[in-house]
Structure 1
């Protein structure tokens, strides 16, 4: 089963690389504002997870600079479980006004990003 998952993961990564979406073009001053707003966001994800790939494609499409955190590393995994509440990816960590919100589910994450940055 591990080998099948590994092969499928590599196929997903290859297809994502070949068919990467175009980045949204913004004026330089607007892009600087968006970059400043995205500094408080972090996406906990696995590289070959199809739902994580979906969210990363949307991030690229919107030309957002969100910190990508590999949730397979023990330190990041423990932060995700202890602060977020469960080990599930993709998970968007949103820090606003001293509060931290953890947003799970790829559809909810892409909806949030579309509402905030579209």
Structure 2
């Protein structure tokens, strides 16, 4: 039964994939603008962030829209296409679930944030003007 359910969702995802990609491209919000100095500080802070995602996940699209709106150069790791990214997510975060934001703090401590609403709230609190 599990195999049938997985197969159903895999086929459904394949059918919906083009529509999800079109939606993601068309619905991007306008990015905020910052001064050059402020953007440089944001760029430096974003070097400590990495978003584990895949392109057709609706929750990942939601987070990527917020990343685009806040004009954040966050590194993206596609766990469907990159087996190393998938292994890193499982080893570091403990489970393969997307979206997941890897936050490396200044003291070297690594935090793994999984929920799209939590990720968006964190990004908004840290980087919104």
What band does the TM-score fall into relative to the shorter chain? over 0.9
Cα RMSD (Å) of the superposition? 0.9
Alignment partners' CA distance in 2, 1:18 and 1:113: 22
Q: Which runs of 5+ in 1 are unaligned?
A: none
Counterpart for residue 56 of structure 2: 48
Classify the secondary structure of the residue corresponding to 1:92: strand
Counterpart for residue 72 of structure 2: 64
Deviates most, 84-93 or 1-10:
1-10
Counterpart for residue 32 of structure 1: 40
- 2:96 is aligned with 1:81: no
Given the alignment, which residue of 101, 104, 111 partners 2:114? 104
- Residue 16 of structure 1: CA displacement? 1.5
Cα distance per residue 1:59-105 (max 9 Å; x no partner): 00000000000112211111111111111000000001211000001
Normalised by the length of structure 1, the TM-score is 0.95
Alignment partners' CA distance in 1, 2:31 and 2:38: 14
Normalised by the length of structure 2, the TM-score is 0.88
Size of the alignment, in residue pairs? Answer: 118
